[in-house]
Amino acid sequence: MDTAPTESVAKDVSTADPEMEDMLQAGVHVGHSRSRRHPAMAPYLWGVRSNVAIIDLEKTKEKLAAALAFLRSSAAEGKLFLFVGTRPSAADLVRKTAEALNMPYVNERWIGGTLTNFKVILKRIETWENLLQEKASGGFEKYTKRERMKKDEEMAHLAATFGGLQRLRKLPDVLVIIGLAHGALAAREAKGMKIPMVALTDTDSDPRQVAYPIPANDDARPAVTYLLGRIREAIGEGLADGERQRREAADAVEKENKGEPSGNA
């Protein structure tokens, strides 16, 4: 990442705001060259330095807060999130974040029809799981060496294609896209299915495509690490809140069935 824009902007960003300082240090504000700028990103830009479009971190902070609030409340309601991030710089970060939250993810190539033709995708996932179970139980022993080799090859292909989707037993309630420009196909499918999206929108993206855009650098690993960390924290808090609310509701019902006064009496 070019440090010149960061050094220049640092002189103009108030360090009194720890959140903006963290974003600055992570390079969240560094966009693409001016020639690659999408016109719809104009309201979110601070200026240009060294021919690089600079994102306004105040706007990022505002949009990030709205996105995190939505993710937190959705998680509390038990919504299912699908994480999408196929750039090599973000692939392992997307996987680790989704796995930590027990959510499905796509961090390789997006398969066309993942959402719009979900029944077919689900059948392919089930085929892979059946092969896994068959092999684990010793079922492959009945096949010839050549047949076993073909089945192993099929399993490897299915694992590479659908490995992150095992937890996707139904259509997701929310898509979290790490890099809208690279997740354009996923975004189109989600939009057609009316599935709300949260997405990192770099300066080459159209933020109007998603309900909760986060103007941010989606290329640099430090920026993606920082933002995914914030997203993971918000969803984690929401999941914990939802679990606590359900536990309290169950306790209240149990007390009521026993004829005990509830805590709100």
Could you tell me the two tokens for 221?
Answer: 């690993």
Residues 56 and 100: their CA atoms lie apart, in Å, by: 30
pLDDT at 21: 94
- Average pLDDT on 120-131 reads 90
Q: Do domains 56-115+171-247 and 116-167 have the same CATH topology?
A: no
Please, which pLDDT band fits residue 10 given cuts at 50, 70 and 90?
A: low
pLDDT at 1: 45
Would you say residue 157 has pLDDT above 90? no
Query: What pLDDT, in 10s, does the model give residues 96-106?
Result: 999 999 999 99
The CATH code that applies to domain 116-167 is 1.10.287
Mean pLDDT of the chain: 90
For residue 226, how many other CB atoms are within 10 A of its CB?
A: 19
Contact call for residues 181 and 205 (beta carbons, < 8 A): yes
Residue type, 42: A
pLDDT at 11: 53
The CATH code that applies to domain 56-115+171-247 is 3.40.50.10490
Query: What pLDDT, in 10s, does the model give residues 13-59?
Result: 555 789 999 999 999 999 888 778 899 999 999 988 888 899 999 99
What are the sequence ranges of the domains in the chain? 56-115+171-247, 116-167
Query: What pLDDT, in 10s, does the model give residues 58-73?
Result: 999 999 999 999 999 9
Contact call for residues 29 and 1 (beta carbons, < 8 A): no
In percent, the amount of the chain with pLDDT more than 70 equals 92
For residue 35, how many other CB atoms are within 10 A of its CB?
A: 8
What is the gyration radius of the CA atoms in the chain, in angstroms? 22
Contact call for residues 214 and 227 (beta carbons, < 8 A): yes
pLDDT at 128: 87
Contact call for residues 180 and 200 (beta carbons, < 8 A): yes
Q: Where are the alpha helices (DSSP H) in the chain?
A: 3-10, 18-26, 57-76, 88-100, 118-136, 145-162, 184-192, 221-257
Would you say residue 8 has pLDDT above 70? no
- Average pLDDT on 246-250 reads 84
Please, which pLDDT band fits residue 6 given cuts at 50, 70 and 90?
A: low
Contact call for residues 88 and 180 (beta carbons, < 8 A): no
Would you say residue 3 has pLDDT above 80? no
Cα torsion for 181, 186, 188, 194, to the nearest 10°?
-130
Burial level of 62, CB count in 10 A (0-12/13-18/19+)? middle
